[in-house]
Amino acid sequence: MISKIAQKIMDETPLDEQIFVRQYTNIIVRIYELLESKGLTQQELAK
């Protein structure tokens, strides 16, 4: 259950920003999954 404060923030956040954050988060999660599947760390990827 979402708190009243969090719900108020979500209600006041423009839809395009909500979509951007959702997509950005999905990209980050996918990168992490790929790194994990290849046995790489973020530091190794950066090199």
Q: What is the mean pLDDT of residues 39-46?
A: 92
Looking at the chain, the whole-number percentage of residues with pLDDT higher than 70 is 100
pTM: 0.70
Q: Which residues of 21-44 are buried (b: 16+ CB within 10 A; e: fewer)?
A: eeeeeeeeeeeeeeeeeeeeeeee
Per residue in 12-34, pLDDT tens? 999 999 999 999 999 999 999 99
pLDDT class of 2 with cuts at 50, 70, 90: confident
Q: Given this model, what pLDDT does residue 1 score? A: 72
- Distance (Å, whole) CA 6 – CA 36: 31
